[in-house]
């Protein structure tokens, strides 16, 4: 695989993802309105209940709106990764995926390009949400806007890899909506996106606390939250990187007609 060919393929696939997204105005609108609605309505409703939250080790006091921003950034990434996965299923049904994967490049590299294209879109949407949040008066520390970039990319790659793995096993568009809800809502609500884990444990919900600890989305949100305040959560980084590699490798195997699910079902579908 020549580097020039590899770069051309990466540029073409990422450009296709971005151009396709720019023509889907409803997707962009929902990507911004959904977390903004949560930020305004949910934070306003619970502000009087939680008041000023003590969230070590970021700093001694942090408002609930500030606490929610990383979690809602994670929501943007999560929904976009599922949308990208849905796009893969659609491309497979329309035959576009078959044409892509028969290109004279390694299959793993083509899938990596798709993953990187989705992660680039997620990152752009994340910064668009930060702009909307700033307009509503919820903002990160000034340095947090650039410190959070590597964490956003890492989290987007992990969630995109999970979506890529889902696309291996979901073969029809009709079945994907239910699968998305089954994955998105448990991952989002049983995490630190809306409330700190110590509050969950303090309330006596030990089982939820333990589930949230092993939820990869929790670690994606915590990686973003720590980065926003200039810190590195090593444990969360390890989980995010490990899950990204594991899900991507399983996806490559699943899309391989010689080893994956396609072979067991008889015939190449992608």
What percentage of the chain exceeds 70 in pLDDT?
A: 76
Query: How high is the pLDDT of residue 46?
Result: 58
pLDDT average, residue stretch 93-106: 71
Q: Rounded CA gap, 95 and 247, in Å?
A: 24
Residues β-bridged to residue 53: 62
Query: How high is the pLDDT of residue 192?
Result: 87
Query: How high is the pLDDT of residue 56?
Result: 46
pLDDT (tens digit per residue) in 31-88: 677 777 777 766 655 554 444 444 444 444 567 777 888 888 998 899 888 888 777 7
Q: Helices 107-135 and 144-169 sit at what angle, rounded to 10 degrees? A: 130
Query: How high is the pLDDT of residue 168?
Result: 82
Give the dihedral of Cα atoms 207, 40, 48, 61; nearest 10 deg. 80
Burial classification of residue 214, based on how many CB atoms lie within 10 Å of its CB (0-12 exposed, 13-18 middle, 19 or more buried): exposed
pLDDT average, residue stretch 91-112: 75
pLDDT average, residue stretch 21-31: 68
pLDDT average, residue stretch 8-33: 73
- Give backbone dihedrals phi and psi of 190, rounded to 5 degrees, phi first: -95, 65
Q: Rounded CA gap, 259 and 268, in Å?
A: 11
- Mean pLDDT over the full length of the chain: 78
Angle, alpha carbons 99-13-155 (nearest 5°): 120
pLDDT band at residue 237 using 50, 70 and 90 as cut-offs = very high
pLDDT average, residue stretch 186-201: 84
Angle, alpha carbons 224-178-73 (nearest 5°): 15
* 8 Å CB contact between 74 and 39: no
Whether the predicted pLDDT of 262 surpasses 50: no
pLDDT band at residue 267 using 50, 70 and 90 as cut-offs = very low
Whether the predicted pLDDT of 269 surpasses 50: no
The model's pTM is 0.83
Query: How high is the pLDDT of residue 31?
Result: 67
> Which of 11-25, 195-209, 238-252 has the highest mean predicted lDDT (pLDDT)?
238-252
pLDDT band at residue 266 using 50, 70 and 90 as cut-offs = very low
* Choice among 185-194, 241-250, 253-262 with the minimum mean pLDDT: 253-262
Q: Rounded CA gap, 240 and 263, in Å?
A: 30
- Of residues 45 and 11, more confidently modeled: 11
Whether the predicted pLDDT of 249 surpasses 90: yes
pLDDT average, residue stretch 155-172: 86
* Choice among 8-12, 24-28, 153-157, 266-270 with the minimum mean pLDDT: 266-270
Residues β-bridged to residue 63: 52
Query: How high is the pLDDT of residue 110?
Result: 84
Whether the predicted pLDDT of 259 surpasses 70: no
């Amino acid at each position: 695989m020549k580097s020039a060919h590899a770069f051309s393929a990466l540029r073409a696939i990422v450009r296709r993802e971005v151009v396709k997204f720019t023509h889907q105005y409803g997707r962009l609108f929902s990507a911004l309105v959904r977390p903004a609605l949560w930020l305004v309505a949910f934070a306003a409703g619970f502000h009087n209940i939680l008041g000023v939250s003590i969230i070590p080790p970021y700093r001694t006091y942090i408002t609930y709106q500030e606490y929610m921003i990383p979690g809602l950034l994670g929501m943007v990434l999560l929904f976009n990764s599922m949308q990208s996965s849905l796009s893969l299923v659609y491309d497979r049904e329309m035959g576009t995926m078959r044409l892509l994967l028969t290109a004279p490049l390694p299959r793993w590299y083509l899938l990596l390009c798709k993953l990187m294209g989705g992660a680039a879109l997620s990152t752009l949407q994340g910064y668009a949400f930060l702009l909307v949040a700033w307009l509503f008066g919820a903002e990160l520390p000034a340095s947090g806007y650039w410190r959070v970039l590597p964490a956003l990319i890492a989290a987007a790659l992990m969630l995109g890899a999970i979506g890529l793995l889902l696309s291996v096993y979901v073969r029809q568009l009709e079945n994907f909506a239910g699968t998305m809800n089954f994955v998105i809502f448990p991952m989002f609500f049983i995490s630190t996106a809306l409330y700190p884990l110590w509050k969950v444990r303090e309330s006596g919900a030990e089982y939820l606390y333990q589930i949230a600890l092993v939820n990869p989305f929790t670690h994606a949100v915590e990686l973003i939250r720590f980065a926003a305040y200039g810190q590195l959560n090593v444990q969360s980084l390890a989980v995010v990187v490990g899950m990204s590699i594991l899900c991507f490798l399983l996806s490559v195997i699943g899309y391989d007609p010689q080893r994956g699910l396609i072979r067991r079902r008889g015939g190449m579908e992608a």
